[in-house]
Amino acid sequence: MPRISPSLVDQLADLDVFIHTEIPVHEIPYLYVPFREISSFKIEDYVERSLSNSELIALEGERGSGKSCIAYFVFLLNSDTYFPIVVSPVLEDVRDVCTSIENFVRLVLQRVAWSTSTQHTISKTLVDKTKEMLAQKVAFADGKRANITGRIRGLLSILPGVLSAEASIGRDIESYAQRSLEGHAFNTQRVECVRELCETIEAHNKTPVFFIDDTDKFLKRSDEDLSDLVPKFFGQILPALARIDRPIIVAVHTYYNQSDSYKDTARNVIDSRFQIPVLNREALHSLIDRRIHAVSRRHHWRDLFEPPDEAMDSMCSYYSQKQTLRELMRLCKESLRKAQNEGLQSIPSSLVNVVKADLI
């Protein structure tokens, strides 16, 4: 078995291939393994089909299970068709935003206006580099060194659509959103404004897709009881948005299945509900290999761990306990970083066990 070189350990750590937070959109082609390739439940295919039918879709799973990556993977596959609009009021005054459909739609329009105006300030060079990375025309390491991150991250809510659209679509959307936000009659017609926003996008032969992400964050916080907002969001805001008859994806944490308002909306409003599948051992092999292959196609997981099967046993048991990809990658990341700090050529299973115990 070939011994992995210290330089590769350094690259895996320094390039953060085992990123355990949400994968940036432009790195999904390099780091994300579609569930349809490693699971019998081909969830990306089902999402694509439902979007083509203009359905309201609920992606249900634990935090860090891959809900956001699934949505962005589908958007990227259909970048010539879809114009994604992502709304995640994590940094907003959630009590204001989720009090009424009027306030939530105001946030949607503000987000769209901001994203399209930000597009005009991004240099063509940076946009071109991002396009190349999305198309995998540049190596992962080269893309990281090109500093694709930074200001381009501000476009993540609309990135796949912007990169494949004419500049005029951004100007038209920004102009409409600004007029709607300034209109005096807007307070009583906000859902209709969203429908007209969609028509503006469709005039450019794009299909608007709304993605409401991070409901597990903006409706549930450790520092504040927001339980009273759950019925308002699932019982009032989401049904109102459904009336625009455009495709919508909502990322939903599994604990909302205990909410009467969510259960009622799931029965009467949501068209399709997809639960993130639990992966087997072979699938986890593929996940780790994909991260390694972003740096070196010559190596795989057996080259990184020693002894490999014992280390993988430990990681699989951790995944079975947590059942989220984020926690699995966190274990890999922390183990790799510790091995790098100790100047090791591989990651011993004993080190994985130490890190695992610390995380638990």
Tens-place pLDDT, residues 164-221: 566 667 778 778 777 777 765 445 567 888 888 889 889 888 899 999 988 877 787 7
Q: Which of 21-30, 96-105, 153-162 has the lowest mean pLDDT?
A: 153-162
Look up residue 83 and give its DSSP letter. Answer: E
Report helix, strand or coil for 226.
Answer: coil
Q: Please give the average per-residue pLDDT across 18-31, as a whole number.
A: 90
Specify burial of residue 163 (Cβ count, 10 A radius: 0-12, 13-18, 19+).
buried
Q: Which of 69-78, 107-116, 175-184, 311-320 has the lowest mean pLDDT?
A: 175-184
What does the pLDDT read at residue 19?
Answer: 94
What does the pLDDT read at residue 185?
Answer: 46
What does the pLDDT read at residue 174?
Answer: 75
Residue 1 — pLDDT band, cuts 50, 70, 90? very low
Q: Please give the average per-residue pLDDT across 283-287, as a whole number.
A: 97
Q: Identify residue 236 by its one-letter amino acid code.
A: Q
Residue ranges of domains in the chain, CATH in brackets? 6-17+279-359 (no CATH), 42-121+157-275 (3.40.50)
Between 172 and 314, the more confident residue is 314
Instruction: Specify whether the CB–CB gap between 241 and 101 falls below 8 A.
Output: yes
Between 164 and 344, the more confident residue is 344
What does the pLDDT read at residue 118?
Answer: 67
Q: Please give the average per-residue pLDDT across 108-119, as a whole number.
A: 75
Predicted confidence (pLDDT) at residue 100 exceeds the cutoff of 50: yes
Q: Which of 27-41, 51-65, 170-184, 229-243 has the lowest mean pLDDT?
A: 170-184
Q: In Å, what is the CA distance from 208 to each residue of 138, 211, 247?
A: 29, 10, 7
What does the pLDDT read at residue 303?
Answer: 93
Strands 207-212, 82-87: pairing is parallel
Specify burial of residue 341 (Cβ count, 10 A radius: 0-12, 13-18, 19+).
exposed
pTM, entire model:
0.91
- Residue 290: which residues within 8 A CB-CB, separation 6 or more? 30, 31, 32, 33
Share of the chain above pLDDT 70, in %: 88
Find the angle CA(23)-CA(24)-CA(29) to the nearest 5 degrees. 80
Q: Please give the average per-residue pLDDT across 147-151, as a whole number.
A: 63
Between 187 and 24, the more confident residue is 24
Share of the chain above pLDDT 90, in %: 52
Residue written as tokens 């009659």? 185
In angstroms, the CA 106 to CA 111 distance is 9
Q: Identify residue 2 by its one-letter amino acid code.
A: P
Q: Please give the average per-residue pLDDT across 10-19, as a whole number.
A: 92
Predicted confidence (pLDDT) at residue 275 exceeds the cutoff of 90: yes
Predicted confidence (pLDDT) at residue 2 exceeds the cutoff of 90: no
Look up residue 305 and give its DSSP letter. Answer: E
Residue 4 — pLDDT band, cuts 50, 70, 90? low
